[in-house]
Structure 1
Amino acid sequence: MDLKINNEINVEKVDPHVGLTQKEVSERVLEGRKNNPLKPMTRSIKRIFADNTLTLFNLINVTIACFIIYTGSYKNLLFLGVALCNTAMGIFQEIRAKRQIDKLTILTQSKIKVIRSGNEEQIEQSDLVQDDVMLLEAGDQVCADGIVLDTAGIEVDESQLTGEADAVRKVLGDDIMSGSFIISGRALVQATAIGEESFISKLSLEAKQEKTVYSELLRSIKTIIKILTFIIIPLGLILFFSQLSKSGDINASILGTAAAMIGMIPEGLVLLTSIALAVGVVNLAKHRVLVKTMPAIETLARVDVLCLDKTGTITNGNLHVTDVLPESYSTDLEMEEAVSAIIYALNDNNATSLALKKAFPNNPGWEAHTKIPFSSERKWSGATFSGRGSYIIGAPEFVFKDMHPKHAERVNAFSEKGYRVLCLAKKEGELNDGKAPKLVGHFLIADELRAEAKDTFRYFKDQGVSIRVISGDNPMTVSNVAMQAEIENSDRYVDMSRIAENTDFKELADHYVVFGRVTPHQKKALIQAFQQAGHTVAMTGDGVNDVLALKESNCSIAMAEGSDATTSVADFVLLDNQFDSMIHVLKEGRRVINNIERVASLYLIKTIYSVILTIIFTFVNSPYPFQPIQLSPISSLTVGIPSFFLAIKPNYKRIQGEFLKKVLHNAFPAALAVVSYIIVTMLLGQLIHLTFAQTSTINVLLTGAVCFTTLITVAKPFDFKIKVLITLLMAAFVLLFSFAGQFFSLAPVWNVNMAMIYIPLLISVYPYFHFIRAFMLRFFK
């Protein structure tokens, strides 16, 4: 796809080496020709309020409240207080997380280099004005449409716009689109369309490029909500008309139906999930980790394969030249001058070029008329100099397709010791004349192992996460470094430059741990191979060559010091560039999932038994066994309050999956126990002539007992705070019958006939619940 933006626009070109003057910049700012601020990553506060309040369940709650108001039984409106508190808590936590994300985002927002009044300046993207001359280098993401005014030969990845990931070479006068990445080289580009006028804005691709993060947690909860959406209102209407036809009492029918429908709503479950994720964002912010998509916290917790590049992750990226090794017919001086000439001619800013520039800082002043910058696909760069021929520097395997065995043996020997080996070659003619170059000599470059690398990889191994190293470097070099970092089976390496295009990547992914000489497209293919094998894959990277793989992975992590391209597509950004921050992310994700699994079962008990009771009491000639206000203490003391504390409790067990199945293992037995006790109480109550108030009181007591039994089961293992919490909640529940019984429409429990029913049933609650649970676990297994 050939993208054009300027062929219908008459662009008055600016001198690329002078740029705009400050006066011209000020004039454009006053005219409004300024780049729009970046779209915030988080939702607005107004949107957060709307999304948390304007929900289907809140609408149902308000509708039920209106009917209860009609009956005049205002105390039964207490359930609205619980719903209001849940909503307020969700809004508070999400706004808190938003502020943390926004604060950290400011630190990671990339600046842009421009030429103004002949000087190079670094400005915020929002300060860019039309006709500014942008200095774009490898790794930069283009923030405005432009036209190339001067270039040393750049290549651009326009896959964000076209879907085609091939490198596109740009020459003088070519258009460059906002949203594309600079793969190699550098150029001076005049901004021709900014803000809403840019190509990417007009196509509204920003939303399209957001990666959909799979969340089993949210998917399962949405499944529950979808089912409830279809059954709550029909069941409520059926129950209401059934109760009304039997009793003729519209007020009693409304209150009974309201109790049933309130019971079916798992109020707080969705909000609690959002709260748990929001708390995770805040906790990770304390460890200097920017979370760009909240569900990614869960995704990383499920990761079982972690793919990473060598430079910047295993090593700290501080490259330095250790040796210059000329051939017998060459000299150190020729090599140093030639490599300096290439570096200054191309002015690349990748880590290797910077290391070479630091080692050889003197520019010999050679005049270059043909330049080819470094790219991850090519793995070499070079230039043709007037009267001196052409020089090439890069990976020996790519500079020389058929390397001499003696040279290959020498390169391998250095690679096995952990050095990155570069070769310098010379051609008498042009770079692309098709003739084979002649070897001039080698450079040895060393990198430093990250201090935290060993401990981090050891932790991931203990947690069952398999490590794979995918690098553009020599596989033996990478393998050596990986062995130093104590990555398991890192002696199993493969040279991907020797792999045919039709190779089965699934077989490679299964057999090898270290992949060297990998191109960006091969990185992406390897990620896909792991995913096809059923793995959840995380990818870390810091260079533009990692972008395709980062976008393809289930979860992507970038270093803040990496390129604009990597930080823009990543789900997490490690602001301190400390790889061990990954441990905190993994733990936080596991805490969220494990704790939501715990508390979700508490919420669904009420939902399940309410649905079953609604169906039963549609056909039974008896009023619904609860009033709305009687459910409030059960919801608050056995679910609402403890679930909040359980949701933020440390819990770093491995994720086993099957969220919904695990939740139902506790919720369904508890719900069946509640239904059983209510039926028994109804039958015995009729036998000894108990009033509705007395049977409903016994139902509240037994339902609370079952819910507390479930709470004790899911809260294990206990710590001191949880023990105290549950004890206080149980005490409050018991005292409620003595001191607040009248308010909650409860009859006095100190009644012999009532005690004859509830005492033996209370004694049976614990064994009965665990009997049903054990039976169901065995049945489903």
Structure 2
Amino acid sequence: MSDRYLPPVETGLTTEEVRQRVTAGLKNEPLPPLTRSVKQIFRDNLLTLFNLINVLLGGLVLITGSYKNLLFLFVVIMNTAIGIFQEVRAKRQVDKLSLLSAAKIHVRRNGQVGDQPQDAVVQDDLLVVTRGDQLPVDGVVRATDGLEVDESQITGEADPVIKGPGDAMVSGSIILGGHGVVQATEVGHGSFIKQMAKAAKQKRRTPSQLLTIINRIIKILTFTIIPLGAGLFISTLLRGESQNRAILGTVAAMVGMIPEGLVLLTSVALAAGAFTLGRHQVLVRELPAIEALARVDTLCLDKTGTITSGQLKFDRLEPWGGVPGKAVETRLAELVAAIDDDNETAQAIKTAFGTPSVHADTVLPFSSARKWSGAAFNGHAYVMGAPEFIYDQVPRALRDHVQTLAERGYRVLLFARVAALTTPKPTQPEALGLILMTDELRPQAKTTFGFFANQDVALKVISGDNPVTVASIANRAGIAGAEKLVDMSQVGERPDFDRLVADYTVFGRVTPQQKENLIKAYQAAGHTVAMTGDGVNDLLALKQADCSIAMATGSEATKSLADFVLIESNFDAMVQVLNEGRRVINNIERVAALYLIKTMYSVALTLIFIFMSHSYPFEPIQLTPISTLMVGIPTFFLALQPDYTRITGRFMKQVMEIAVPAAICVVGYVITIMLLGNQLDLNFATTSTLSVLLTGVISLNALVIAARPLNRFKIGLVALMATLFLLVFLFGGAIFSLVSLWHWSLAWVYVPLVISAYPVFILLQNGLGKRVLSRIRWR
């Protein structure tokens, strides 16, 4: 540090010095964007394996000269275009909200402190940091009365580190207590900022269950499509069929195996969900987080900022131990001025008693782990904080009075004189007074928590405040089980967290490490846990939770790692978040089976027709009405339907209940038609037309099952699709390579088959489906 330029602490860099450093490239870099660029969105949606396979298949169809069979490429193009449009739209919404919630750094220049974006910080800038800030650059402390810093992202150690003038600080460090001035020593590539930003913003939790299953299906199909297609093509040629017939049959089989619409539907639904939440001022940092929150069954709440408004009000100061009230007020005002914290409690006391001038010999700023702050001045040391964390054993009379006040809803802090500012507890505390603070409920808190209770989401309150006070507020907010409270400062060093989460609803006097362990215990009990928070004391718990929600008014460190940021700090918006997540996931799980029906019967038919003497029963153009009318269009509308029921992980169960019986029906009816065709000497055009008809009818039955419970809209949608499918046979035969079915000689073949399709499908679903499901343990 001796060779480094040291700008005056009182003034910082001048405008000219800042300009020189910007010109020299000594400027910090912006944080990595939350979203992909438009170029990346286009590239990732266009350059996919399935798109490549579809283009190659289209090239093969061109060889045959049957250009109408290229229609499947139009569907692929439309799907891709819709996916790009929805993701770009969601990107713009997320980017707009990111700007609103972007962290600002207090920088001192030309003697003035102003807010600057992180990428505006230059080398040697003086950063004015306080509790909750996250350092965006490497630096050195120039001035402070005491900084407590969390360097766990760098060192892995969760214990706070005390920093004084001259001490180095690393980017990514979080200020837990105190405030000071830090000079930027390394910016941009010279610092750890990129690694730290990545660690804070892209923590890895349990991956999305739905996306994991879909990606597994795609991976399996990737290794299945090409060899099966090659086998079908070769076997068709070996049977003496023409090259064109072999190509069209192979392309139809391979197109049928690709569930490109399922991938599209999932990405579009999540992107649309992010866009919808953005309109409600909720920033979604990762799309899979929508699914994670939709699966939540336990919501852990931090009292301040979530249940209450977070605006603490000073009520009164009660002297204790016979000390005159005026003297207690004076000493308290001096203590708060000496510590110079900027949290809500300190600000409320400053407003009540003013800020006298005092010089402190020693300062210990407030710490979430320690739960008290203190300072030594004028030959004495004073502390302010939770009584349980100041006394080894709180005197009975004081404890009983604090309990009485807490039951009335007050937040009670102890003001005491001590012999020494030792940690974790001060030496020989002597109570001088009790500070009574009040905190008001959020206006819509009761309604919001009632909604979550009705949605089978268990509410738990985890707070650093007195458990009796927290329980009183939780009870006023209508949280069930609020009377089941525990003081976490009294549970010992190695508590049984599994028993605690089973027995209690309200947890008070909780340390940051205990918050994290409580979340772990809920997860170990099989719960999917969301955590809300707005302060640095919530960081460990937010990282551990399956889904984390931060308020925009919270600390920058908290916002930097949360899955959701409530831009207007309005917890009521969580109702919309939960509903949107459940709607997206429930509807994807519901309609996914419709996409996989085609995949399943296409794979099965390909395997069968490799060894049969018949050509593959479909041409690519013939699958278009089925893919469009029985799957594509209706699933798009069904995915937008309201469905806010609790997520039950039914993806594979829906597949087994709907897709497997339907696929077996299709395969069975196609084989039956082939056999009847042999007996009745029907040509390929006729048997393929009958196969399309029966496949469409079975897919329509599956659509009805997937759309349940039916309402007017769904009945109308199904009826419209059925009508359009019928019109394809009446007027679109030439386009879709279908022969006319208006012949009595054919009617006695297909009418019984069509009539039998529904009961056979239901029989298979209730018989085979239930037997298979009973033998499989679904998650």
Q: Give a deviation string over 1:708-752, Cα, whole Å, max 9, x none.
A: 111111112334333333222222211112222112111111122
* Aligned with residue 316 of structure 2, among 315, 320, 323: 323
- Quote the Cα distance in structure 1 between the aligned partners of 2:60 and 2:561: 50
Counterpart in 1 of 2:464?
472
- Quote the Cα distance in structure 1 between the aligned partners of 2:358 and 2:714: 74
SS in 1 for 2:260: coil
One-letter amino acid matched to 2:495: T
Counterpart in 2 of 1:750?
742
What's the CA shift for 1:214?
Answer: 2.5
Counterpart in 1 of 2:295?
302
Give yes or no for the alignment of 1:409 onto 2:400. yes
* Alpha-carbon contact 1:558-1:574 (below 8 Å) kept: yes
- Quote the Cα distance in structure 1 between the aligned partners of 2:539 and 2:420: 35
* Alpha-carbon contact 2:31-2:197 (below 8 Å) kept: no
- Quote the Cα distance in structure 2 between the aligned partners of 1:688 and 1:584: 60
Counterpart in 2 of 1:3?
none
Counterpart in 2 of 1:460?
452
SS in 1 for 2:245: helix
* Aligned with residue 514 of structure 1, among 506, 512, 515: 506
Counterpart in 1 of 2:668?
676
Give yes or no for the alignment of 1:718 onto 2:675. no
SS in 1 for 2:481: coil
What's the CA shift for 1:205?
Answer: 4.5
One-letter amino acid matched to 2:471: S
Give yes or no for the alignment of 1:423 onto 2:414. yes
Give yes or no for the alignment of 1:250 onto 2:243. yes
* Alpha-carbon contact 1:456-1:583 (below 8 Å) kept: yes
Give yes or no for the alignment of 1:768 onto 2:757. no
* Aligned with residue 396 of structure 1, among 374, 382, 387: 387
* Alpha-carbon contact 1:20-1:116 (below 8 Å) kept: yes
- Quote the Cα distance in structure 1 between the aligned partners of 2:320 and 2:667: 87
Name structure 1 gaps, 5 residues minimum: 1-5
Q: Give a deviation string over 1:30-81, Cα, whole Å, max 9, x none.
A: 2222221221100111111111111111111111111111222221111111
Counterpart in 2 of 1:119?
112
Give yes or no for the alignment of 1:94 onto 2:87. yes
- Quote the Cα distance in structure 1 between the aligned partners of 2:201 and 2:92: 25
* Alpha-carbon contact 2:419-2:428 (below 8 Å) kept: no
Q: Give a deviation string over 1:259-300, Cα, whole Å, max 9, x none.
A: 111111112111110100111111111211111111111111
Give yes or no for the alignment of 1:233 onto 2:231. no
* Alpha-carbon contact 1:492-1:513 (below 8 Å) kept: yes
Distance change in 2, residues 1:118/1:390 (3 Å): same
Give yes or no for the alignment of 1:139 onto 2:167. no
Name structure 2 gaps, 5 residues minimum: 775-779
One-letter amino acid matched to 1:188: V
One-letter amino acid matched to 2:682: L
SS in 2 for 1:368: coil
* Aligned with residue 269 of structure 1, among 259, 262, 284: 262
Distance change in 2, residues 1:376/1:275 (3 Å): same
* Alpha-carbon contact 1:277-1:294 (below 8 Å) kept: yes
Out of 589-598 and 13-22, give the one that drifted further: 13-22
Counterpart in 2 of 1:154?
147
* Aligned with residue 74 of structure 1, among 52, 67, 72: 67
Distance change in 2, residues 1:715/1:57 (3 Å): same
One-letter amino acid matched to 2:667: V
Out of 215-224 and 724-733, give the one that drifted further: 724-733
What's the CA shift for 1:345?
Answer: 2.0
Counterpart in 1 of 2:777?
none
Out of 655-664 and 59-68, give the one that drifted further: 655-664
SS in 2 for 1:268: helix
* Alpha-carbon contact 1:698-1:754 (below 8 Å) kept: no
Distance change in 2, residues 1:376/1:742 (3 Å): same
- Quote the Cα distance in structure 1 between the aligned partners of 2:426 and 2:95: 53
Distance change in 2, residues 1:711/1:185 (3 Å): same
What's the CA shift for 1:209?
Answer: 4.3
1:340-739 to 2 correspondences below 5 Å: 340-361=333-354, 363-387=355-379, 389-427=380-418, 435-739=427-731
Out of 711-720 and 221-230, give the one that drifted further: 711-720
Distance change in 2, residues 1:337/1:305 (3 Å): same
What's the CA shift for 1:418?
Answer: 1.2
What's the CA shift for 1:501?
Answer: 2.1
* Alpha-carbon contact 1:87-1:271 (below 8 Å) kept: yes
State the Cα RMSD in Å. 1.6
One-letter amino acid matched to 1:144: V
SS in 2 for 1:130: coil
* Alpha-carbon contact 1:383-1:431 (below 8 Å) kept: no
- Quote the Cα distance in structure 2 between the aligned partners of 1:556 and 1:434: 34
SS in 1 for 2:239: helix
What's the CA shift for 1:206?
Answer: 4.4
Counterpart in 2 of 1:223?
216
What's the CA shift for 1:499?
Answer: 1.8
* Alpha-carbon contact 1:542-1:563 (below 8 Å) kept: yes
What's the CA shift for 1:493?
Answer: 0.9
* Alpha-carbon contact 1:469-1:513 (below 8 Å) kept: yes
- Quote the Cα distance in structure 2 between the aligned partners of 1:696 and 1:186: 77
* Aligned with residue 277 of structure 2, among 271, 279, 284: 284
Distance change in 2, residues 1:415/1:204 (3 Å): closer
SS in 1 for 2:367: coil
Out of 759-768 and 307-316, give the one that drifted further: 759-768
Out of 352-361 and 268-277, give the one that drifted further: 352-361
* Alpha-carbon contact 2:200-2:560 (below 8 Å) kept: no
Which aligned runs of 4 or more in structure 1 are off by greater than 4 angstroms? Answer: 202-209, 428-434
- Quote the Cα distance in structure 1 between the aligned partners of 2:654 and 2:205: 25
SS in 1 for 2:609: helix
* Alpha-carbon contact 2:153-2:196 (below 8 Å) kept: no
Distance change in 2, residues 1:211/1:391 (3 Å): same
What's the CA shift for 1:682?
Answer: 0.8
SS in 1 for 2:304: helix
- Quote the Cα distance in structure 1 between the aligned partners of 2:122 and 2:448: 44
TM-score, normalization by structure 1: 0.96
- Quote the Cα distance in structure 2 between the aligned partners of 1:344 and 1:26: 37
- Quote the Cα distance in structure 2 between the aligned partners of 1:62 and 1:444: 72
One-letter amino acid matched to 1:393: M
One-letter amino acid matched to 1:56: L
Aligned length: 772
- Quote the Cα distance in structure 2 between the aligned partners of 1:640 and 1:217: 19
SS in 2 for 1:744: coil
- Quote the Cα distance in structure 2 between the aligned partners of 1:696 and 1:338: 93
- Quote the Cα distance in structure 2 between the aligned partners of 1:475 and 1:603: 52
* Alpha-carbon contact 2:249-2:617 (below 8 Å) kept: yes
What's the CA shift for 1:219?
Answer: 1.1
One-letter amino acid matched to 2:383: I
Distance change in 2, residues 1:429/1:395 (3 Å): closer
SS in 2 for 1:589: helix
One-letter amino acid matched to 2:753: L
* Alpha-carbon contact 1:41-1:292 (below 8 Å) kept: yes
- Quote the Cα distance in structure 2 between the aligned partners of 1:208 and 1:101: 15
* Alpha-carbon contact 1:213-1:296 (below 8 Å) kept: no
Q: Give a deviation string over 1:451-497, Cα, whole Å, max 9, x none.
A: 11111111111111111111000111111111111111111111111
What's the CA shift for 1:213?
Answer: 4.8
TM-score, normalization by structure 2: 0.97
- Quote the Cα distance in structure 1 between the aligned partners of 2:203 and 2:430: 47
SS in 2 for 1:567: helix
Give yes or no for the alignment of 1:40 onto 2:33. yes
